[in-house]
Chain A
Amino acid sequence: MKKILMTAAAAAAISMLAACGTKPTETVENNNDKIQVYTSFYAMYDFAREIGGDMADVHNLCPVGSEPHDFEPTASDMAALTEADLFIYNGMGMEHWTDSVNETLSGSDVIIVEASANVENIAENYDPHVWLDPENALAEMEAIADGFIQADPENSDYYTARLDDCRGRIEQLDNDYKTAVAGFTSHNIITSHEAYFNLCNAYGLIQLAVNGVDNSEDPTPTRMAEIIEFIKANDIKYVFTEPLSTSKIVQTIADDTGCELLTLDPFEGSTEDKGYFDVMYENLEALKTALQ
């Protein structure tokens, strides 16, 4: 009997500790006038804050550093989502988990935006990282702005003005890329994650990737050998990794071929709160180093 009581007491203590550990979800309280916007992962979060500015509270679901491809929302995420005004996700298979979220939200007042719905330049293999082509990023921002206007029509002028501002910066970005690419002597990039079809499509580059499009598959020995042969045959000097996942495989390839590592960011997350334009310009600098 004593033993049972002790066990019960221990269990109670553990559950109390656990309860203390949970942070109160700041997101549930909704005592200001701002619209509540939830986004599936960092790129969508950044676009939503570009458009929403001071008028919206934007919350990101998939924590930075987790793979957006494999994320599962927690129960408290789902509870918060049902109270939201707007839910924004990329689509095209980027986030496998949004189907069940959308099903749960269907019939509620939450406005759901699939940002990639009007994107025109789609890579042959439906690479979902469409925002790496600036034109596509603009199409996503337009879809997101439509969602904001639908959720908060009173402030439609504000959102339209912010979208126009983005449009100008996108044009500038696209021009800077085009100018740089004109000076490239090589067009082959070796990447750790097969995420750059859209970038390659837009600027005539060719990608050879070590891991698959959802960044979870290590290559077979055959594939490793192919990549090493390609690097040797094309006299490639740099291999690209990602800021959020250090790949042993890419390190091995670099060691075996004498290549140096550079960072190319698919903009799935940022631990330093970087924006889309910052990351795209950093990527451009890395590409210049490798290809000029």
Chain B
Amino acid sequence: MNNIFSYDFMIKAFAAAILIAIAAPCIGLPIVLKRFSAIGDATSHSALGGIAFGLLIGINPIVGAVLFSIAAVLSIEALRKKFGKYSEIASVVVMSAGIGLTAVLSGFIKNGSSNINSFMFGSIVAISDFELILTLLLCALVAGVTFLLYKEIFAITFDEEAAALSGIPAKLINFILMLLTAITVSVASRIVGALMISSLLVIPTATAMLISKSYRSTLILSILFAELFTVSGLFISYYLNLRPGGTIVLIGTAVLVITALVHKRK
């Protein structure tokens, strides 16, 4: 078997995986702490609807995914308030709408219905230069916002009301966070797949939370875990002839379970 790095497609796959693994936990940590980990699933299923819509009317499917994802996060925010303490219903409702839209819209696609499959499970071995640049921009945006608004995001994830009282524009920060979630999920659906991205948002963060105590160390550790899952997932999928997306997610869940068993809760 040839050297894994002798192929352009593998080098691009590694580059995209490393970038996504920086961006995903930056979004994942605040949404997990806000007890909102289901938003990834809800958004990614809506993104699939947007992809089908994009393929249908002939625009770039990622643009369709971004539009539908933004609509999804805004609807979740609006619905959440209606259900009070049962706010998790909102994600499930929006996810159902996304699945329904995907199923109905994909029935009308004349050209390339099989493309929908490649968005569900991603095509990390077939990344175009354009997609790599898009991933780089996404990563820079998400990491930049996380760095610049570090204190604000930290404050609203623990107590939105207290943050608002101390003068932080909680609604605006919340909105930015939702917007970034939508964009991350949309871009990542092309790379690791819409059905896989929510696990990359949640699993590294969850694993890091088992070990570290502070917000900062959880954030850093979750990025390291995400890098470990994606990079080792690509190596293993190449040498064992497995599907990359699923391999990455399974490594993540395995590491999470092992960490939970080994690490005694203090």
Binding site for B on A (CB under 8 A): 63-67, 70, 215-216, 218-225, 228-229, 244-246, 248-249, 251-253, 255-256, 271
- When distances are taken between beta carbons in the complex, the residues of chain A under 8 Å from B78 are none
Q: Is B263 an interface residue (CB 8 A)?
A: no
Q: Check B238–A67 contact: CB distance below 8 A.
A: no
Q: Check B8–A256 contact: CB distance below 8 A.
A: yes
Q: Is B114 an interface residue (CB 8 A)?
A: yes
- When distances are taken between beta carbons in the complex, the residues of chain B under 8 Å from A220 are 125, 237-238, 241-244
Binding site for A on B (CB under 8 A): 1-2, 7-10, 13, 107, 109-115, 117-118, 121, 123, 125-128, 234, 237-244
Complex alpha-carbon distance, A63 and B10, angstroms = 36
Among B111, B117, B125, B240, the residue within 8 A (CB) of A65 is B111
- Contacts A225-B7, A248-B128 known; A64 to B114 CB distance under 8 Å? no
Q: Check B113–A251 contact: CB distance below 8 A.
A: no
Complex alpha-carbon distance, A229 and B6, angstroms = 11
Q: Check B111–A244 contact: CB distance below 8 A.
A: yes
- When distances are taken between beta carbons in the complex, the residues of chain A under 8 Å from B117 are 216, 218
- When distances are taken between beta carbons in the complex, the residues of chain B under 8 Å from A228 are 7, 9
Complex alpha-carbon distance, A64 and B118, angstroms = 20
Complex alpha-carbon distance, A244 and B55, angstroms = 13
Question: Interface majority SS on B: helix, strand, loop or mixed?
Answer: loop
Q: Check B112–A221 contact: CB distance below 8 A.
A: no
Q: Check B121–A256 contact: CB distance below 8 A.
A: no
Among A219, A229, A253, the residue within 8 A (CB) of B2 is A229
Q: Check A244–B238 contact: CB distance below 8 A.
A: no
* Given contact pairs A65-B113, A67-B113, A222-B239, a sample of 15 additional A-B residue pairs in the complex whose CB atoms are under 8 Å apart: A64-B110, A65-B112, A66-B107, A216-B117, A218-B118, A220-B125, A222-B241, A225-B2, A228-B7, A229-B2, A244-B111, A246-B115, A252-B125, A252-B127, A256-B8
Q: Check A221–B107 contact: CB distance below 8 A.
A: no
Q: Check A271–B110 contact: CB distance below 8 A.
A: yes
Q: Check A245–B123 contact: CB distance below 8 A.
A: no
- When distances are taken between beta carbons in the complex, the residues of chain B under 8 Å from A219 are 125
Closest 10 pairs between A and B when the two form their complex, measured CB to CB? A65-B110, A252-B126, A222-B241, A248-B126, A221-B238, A249-B126, A256-B8, A245-B114, A245-B112, A220-B241
Question: Chain A's nearest CB lies how many Å from the CB of B72?
Answer: 20
Among A225, A244, A249, A252, the residue within 8 A (CB) of B112 is A244
Question: Chain A's nearest CB lies how many Å from the CB of B263?
Answer: 32
Among B111, B112, B126, the residue within 8 A (CB) of A251 is B126
Q: Check B125–A218 contact: CB distance below 8 A.
A: yes
Q: Check B113–A223 contact: CB distance below 8 A.
A: no
Q: Check B115–A245 contact: CB distance below 8 A.
A: yes
Q: Check A255–B10 contact: CB distance below 8 A.
A: no
| CB-nearest residue of chain B to A215 | B114
Among A224, A248, A271, the residue within 8 A (CB) of B7 is A224
A-B residue pairs in contact (CB < 8 Å), sample of 5 = A67-B114, A225-B10, A225-B238, A249-B126, A252-B128
Most A C-beta atoms less than 10 A away, residue of B13, B114, B237, B243: B114
Complex alpha-carbon distance, A271 and B111, angstroms = 9
Complex alpha-carbon distance, A219 and B243, angstroms = 7
Question: Chain A's nearest CB lies how many Å from the CB of B30?
Answer: 32
Q: Check A66–B113 contact: CB distance below 8 A.
A: yes
